[in-house]
Amino acid sequence: MSEENVNGAVAPVEAAGPAFTVEKIYVKDVSFEVPGAPAVFNETAQPQLQMNLNQSVQRLNDAAFEVVLGITLTCSAGDKPMYLVEVKQAGVFGLAGFDEATLDGMLGTHCPNVLYPYARQLVSDLIQSGGFPPFFLQPINFDALYAEGLRQRASQQAGGLADAETAGNA
């Protein structure tokens, strides 16, 4: 990579081609509830965990996107809720020079991979601060989730085309 002298300072010359930058990582929203406290701490039933994961993307300008990774973790013992954790970990990412398919893939896989460790740590800290044993979310394969999402979109589009053809023949 070459450099050029600008006002006495050495600045790198921008390389042509795609560019990815992490501009900001932040917690957008967080919630932790223990509805049955303090009685829930005496619960002896085996806890059951349910996790919901979602993601949203908002274009901020031509080359900047906000990606929000949402994690909701519900822990219950029998029919009694023990705790509920909701975290929205967000980041602003600079993505320039990508074709639409690659851009979609970067927003669907690479950005969540950057955000997940932060969300994972925050969830763990909230649960432990809430008086429960340490809990660590397992790694998530965002590439596989993205590929499954693409398959589902393709099958929905194929189903929609078949329905339109059927309606046109009726």
Kindly report, residue by residue over 100-143, the tens digit of the pLDDT: 999 999 999 999 999 999 999 999 999 999 999 888 999 999 99
Residues of the chain with pLDDT under 70: 1-15, 160-170
pLDDT attached to residue 12: 57
Q: Which two tokens stand for residue 30?
A: 């967080």
**In angstroms, rounded to a whole number, what is the distance separating the alpha carbons of residues 144 and 84?**
26
Which CATH superfamily is 17-133 part of? Answer: SecB-like (3.10.420.10)
Q: Which residue in this structure is represented by tokens 């398919």?
A: 101
Give the start-to-end residue ranges of the domains of the chain.
Answer: 17-133
Sign of CA dihedral 69, 70, 75, 76: negative
